[in-house]
């Protein structure tokens, strides 16, 4: 499972060591020496995971984690805190701030990679290979097959990814911007109304069996896939 990982670490030697190992494992790495630079990176691209040093010059890693959690766009981006501290109280503080895991320096690259994989698997159910099913609508990520009430549904690649994401995060409302980030990746050159176009195509493909009703518009907020009837 390869991911776009933002590494925020002010010690150049440690940053370089982490970057080399992540790249070797197939990940894409963006690095920053401080939280201010990291914030600019986050504005430009939504990382799949943030590796965040606790002790940074200027804004601390803890404060940066708090800000990521406070912003709707970055709320669900997993964070692994890196720290030289091994105190239990610090660990608790880090985890309550919203970090998903905590790695104490010095760590082995192997251990760090294992932790990253574990957090990614937990945070990105759509990346897992399990088939998803909602009300007789079934999507198999391995074979790329979608069936509705047992009948094959033909979807374009974007509609497939869109449905995959919506099914993996069923019942939750996603704004167009969040969908662009999660389904299209880098959304810089894609307009928000593109999402509406693909939602329309997805609904059309599901119409024959009535499963288009699962793909719901939440006025003023975005879209959601729900097994419950939409409120009017």
Phi-psi region of 84 (alpha: psi -120 to 50; beta: other; left: phi over 0): alpha
* Shorter beta-carbon distance to Ca ion: residue 10 or 212: 10
Number of residues that bind Ca ion (CB under 5 A): 3
* Shorter beta-carbon distance to Ca ion: residue 53 or 100: 53
55 binds Ca ion (CB under 5 A): yes
61 binds Ca ion (CB under 5 A): no
Token pair of 193 as six digits? 């109304």
Shortest spacing between CB 12 and Ca ion, in angstroms: 11
* Shorter beta-carbon distance to Ca ion: residue 48 or 53: 53
34 binds Ca ion (CB under 5 A): no
The stretch among 8-16, 159-167, 179-187, 223-231 that binds Ca ion (CB under 5 A) is: 8-16
Burial class (CB in 10 A: 0-12, 13-18, 19+), 108: exposed
Residue nearest to Ca ion (CB): 55
Shortest spacing between CB 10 and Ca ion, in angstroms: 5
* Shorter beta-carbon distance to Ca ion: residue 10 or 136: 10
Burial class (CB in 10 A: 0-12, 13-18, 19+), 125: middle
Nearest alpha-carbon partner for 137 in 149, 125, 153: 149
* Shorter beta-carbon distance to Ca ion: residue 55 or 103: 55
- CA–CA dist 73, 93 (Å, integer): 23
- CA–CA dist 83, 107 (Å, integer): 10
- CA–CA dist 60, 69 (Å, integer): 14
Nearest alpha-carbon partner for 8 in 73, 76, 68, 82: 82
14 binds Ca ion (CB under 5 A): no
* Shorter beta-carbon distance to Ca ion: residue 41 or 73: 41
Contact pick of 7, 15, 52, 53 for Ca ion (by CB under 5 A): 53
Contact pick of 4, 10, 41, 103 for Ca ion (by CB under 5 A): 10
Residues that bind Ca ion (CB under 5 A): 10, 53, 55
């Amino acid at each position: 499972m390869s991911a776009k990982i933002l590494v925020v670490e002010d010690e150049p030697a440690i940053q370089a060591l982490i970057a080399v190992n992540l790249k070797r494992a197939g990940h894409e790495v963006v690095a920053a020496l401080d939280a201010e630079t990291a914030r600019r990176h986050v504005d430009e691209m939504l990382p799949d995971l943030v590796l965040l040093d606790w002790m940074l010059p200027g804004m601390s890693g803890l404060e940066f984690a708090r800000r990521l959690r406070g912003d709707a766009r970055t709320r669900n981006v997993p964070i692994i805190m890196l720290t030289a501290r091994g105190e239990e109280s610090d660990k608790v503080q880090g985890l309550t701030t919203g970090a998903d895991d905590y790695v104490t320096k010095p760590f082995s690259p192997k251990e760090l990679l294992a932790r990253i994989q574990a957090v990614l698997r937990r945070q990105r159910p759509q990346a897992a290979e399990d088939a998803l099913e909602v009300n007789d609508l079934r999507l198999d990520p391995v074979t790329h097959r979608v069936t509705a009430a047992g009948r094959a549904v033909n979807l374009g690649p974007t509609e497939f990814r869109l449905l995959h994401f919506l099914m993996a995060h069923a019942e939750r409302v996603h704004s167009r911007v969040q969908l662009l980030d999660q389904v299209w990746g880098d959304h810089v050159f894609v307009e928000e109304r593109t999402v509406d176009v693909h939602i329309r195509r997805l609904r059309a493909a599901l119409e024959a069996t009535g499963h288009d009703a699962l793909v719901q518009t939440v006025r003023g907020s975005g879209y959601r896939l729900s097994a419950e009837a939409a409120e009017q």
